Amino acid sequence: MKKALSEQELHYLAMNHVGKELEERGFEFIAINSKLKKHPQFVCMDQNKQYFFVIVRAVILPENPNNYDIVWMESFKKHALDKDAKVLYAGVGLGNPDSEDLPVYLNEEYLIEYNGIQVIETNLN
């Protein structure tokens, strides 16, 4: 019997994709938080010792993974500024290849829409 992935499991899946990209880019992981609605998911440092807060957001396709709550992001940017960190955003869309009405199943193929990591300007609006 097929088992649909929970919201937390979808979040883990998205974090795995983003974590691999961060690793390939040479970031050093300082902290990882995989709990839903706890931000940032990754605290990283680059080769220049600059800190980055990385927000990972998993959505079910056809929802656009590149959209985020702008008002919430403003408060998060303030937090990053206070900590002298830059903000990166990674939206990951996941879906069932057979139908958007079906869930993503454990150990089954899935669709992914991932446009990479976006730099969020930390200037406050």
pLDDT in tens, 54-80: 999 999 999 999 999 999 999 999 999
Is residue 65, in this structure, part of any structural domain at all? Answer: yes
pLDDT attached to residue 125: 54
Is residue 40, in this structure, part of any structural domain at all? Answer: yes
CATH number for the domain harbouring residue 61: 3.40.1350
pLDDT of 3-33, one tens digit each? 999 999 999 999 999 999 999 999 999 999 9
Is residue 68, in this structure, part of any structural domain at all? Answer: yes
Is residue 74, in this structure, part of any structural domain at all? Answer: yes
Rounded to 5 degrees, what angle do the CA atoms 3, 102, 68 make? Answer: 100
Is residue 121, in this structure, part of any structural domain at all? Answer: no
Is residue 11, in this structure, part of any structural domain at all? Answer: yes
The total number of structural domains in the chain stands at 1
pLDDT attached to residue 1: 83
Is residue 29, in this structure, part of any structural domain at all? Answer: yes
Q: How many CB atoms lie within 10 A of CB 75?
A: 10
The parent domain of residue 35 ranges over 7-112
